Amino acid sequence: MVIGGEAADVPESAVVRLTAWVRGNVQGVGMRWWVRARALELGLTGWARNLDDGRVEVVAEGSREACEQLLTRLGGPGSPGRVTGVTERWSEAHGVESGFVQR
């Protein structure tokens, strides 16, 4: 399930920032490593980190198309743990340093 705003009227080639909060049994199951691998495959920069409330926060920058693909994968089959929901927020890119890291 995906809840949140959409990147309406933004060209697919535009660089955007996706912030996603993944809920469920998502800590201690390799989620941050898995997100990093998927993000690097898609050419995205950013990070994934555990939050104190049990969610994983994902911040990714790159093309809208690549960010949408990552968002789809976050709650899709093959993601580690048990994802019960993903909340998303779209914004302008801030210029994240190169690479994708686990925090």
What span, in angstroms and rounded, lies between the C-alpha atoms of 43 and 80? 21
Separation of CA 78 from chain center: 15
Catalytic residue chosen out of the listed positions 23, 32, 38, 64 = 32
Query: 3-state DSSP call for residue 8?
Result: coil
Angle formed by the axes of helices 64-74 and 31-41, nearest 10°: 150
Residue type, 91: S
Give yes or no: 32 in active site.
Answer: yes
What span, in angstroms and rounded, lies between the C-alpha atoms of 98 and 81? 27
What does the longest C-alpha to C-alpha distance in the chain come to? 37
Catalytic residue chosen out of the listed positions 25, 38, 49, 50 = 50
Give yes or no: 50 in active site.
Answer: yes
Catalytic residues: 32, 50
